[in-house]
Chains A and B, each alone.
Chain A
């Protein structure tokens, strides 16, 4: 069966520090991969998605970037964190077909101080 791993679970970082959140998927090949950010009471905001290695689409201009160095690995990064980057970050994958359901990791709670 397919599994998705996301780490770390929680992270406290000072303003201006770099960020790297990692997500890996097992048990499937060529998945679509996604990074979402969740703010309280505001649902989920799609940040990035990827349909293949090296293919990244950005949905919202921001301080973050994403990379997909391997088929089942998706990384969210920042060179310098802002206070506004605090939030709950969720990685997800789906099958390659259009509108396939999303399968989420357990999320990373990021607090920028």
Chain B
């Protein structure tokens, strides 16, 4: 069965610094991978997705993620963090059994300090 691991429960970065959030997945074939962001008390918003093709995918709000099959990773990056990026970030993998059961990681909460 698929699984997603986000090793960092929370991360603190300074405003303007670069960011990398880690995500490792377990999947039998080429995975469908997603990153979502959640502001406090809100629903989740899709940042980016990877299905196939170029392993570096661009998303909204200046985020990008790189798929590395050899490392089973799909890390999220941003070159310069803004205070408004403080939120919780979820990595997710699509279902390989029929398509409807997206599996989410436990999330990484990002704190941004001035």
Expressed in whole angstroms, the Cα–Cα distance for A98 and B9 within the complex equals: 29
The number of residue pairs between A and B whose CB atoms lie closer than 8 Å in the complex comes to 60
Q: Which residues of A contact B94 (CB under 8 A)?
A: 98-99
Contact with A along B24-50 (1 / 0, CB 8 A): 000000001010100001111110010
Of the candidates B34, B99, B104, which one forms a contact with A101 in the assembled complex, judged by CB atoms under 8 Å apart?
Answer: B34
Task: Tell whether B106 is near chain A: CB-to-CB under 8 Å.
Answer: yes
Task: Tell whether B98 is near chain A: CB-to-CB under 8 Å.
Answer: yes
Task: Tell whether A90 is near chain B: CB-to-CB under 8 Å.
Answer: yes
Assess A43 versus B106: contact at CB under 8 Å? Given A32-B100, A59-B101, A101-B49: yes
CB–CB B41/A43 < 8 A = no
Of the candidates A6, A43, A103, A104, which one forms a contact with B107 in the assembled complex, judged by CB atoms under 8 Å apart?
Answer: A43
Which 7 residue pairs are nearest across A and B when measured between Cβ atoms? A98-B99, A104-B43, A99-B94, A99-B32, A43-B106, A44-B104, A43-B104
Task: Tell whether A15 is near chain B: CB-to-CB under 8 Å.
Answer: no
**Taking beta carbons and an 8 Å cutoff, which residues of A are in contact with B?**
6, 32, 34, 41-44, 46, 49, 51, 57, 59, 90, 92, 94, 97-99, 101-107, 109
Q: Is the interface of B mostly helix, strand, loop or mixed?
A: loop
CB–CB A105/B43 < 8 A = yes
CB–CB A99/B95 < 8 A = yes
Expressed in whole angstroms, the Cα–Cα distance for A102 and B37 within the complex equals: 12
Q: Which residues of B contact A57 (CB under 8 A)?
A: 100
Known: A42-B106, A99-B99, A102-B44; 8 extra A-B contacts, CB below 8 A, are A32-B100, A43-B90, A43-B107, A59-B101, A99-B32, A99-B94, A99-B95, A107-B42
Q: Which residues of B contact A102 (CB under 8 A)?
A: 34, 36, 44, 46, 102
Q: Which residues of A contact B46 (CB under 8 A)?
A: 101-103
Task: Tell whether B51 is near chain A: CB-to-CB under 8 Å.
Answer: yes
Contact with A along B50-84 (1 / 0, CB 8 A): 01000000000000000000000000000000000
Expressed in whole angstroms, the Cα–Cα distance for A94 and B32 within the complex equals: 14
CB–CB A49/B100 < 8 A = yes
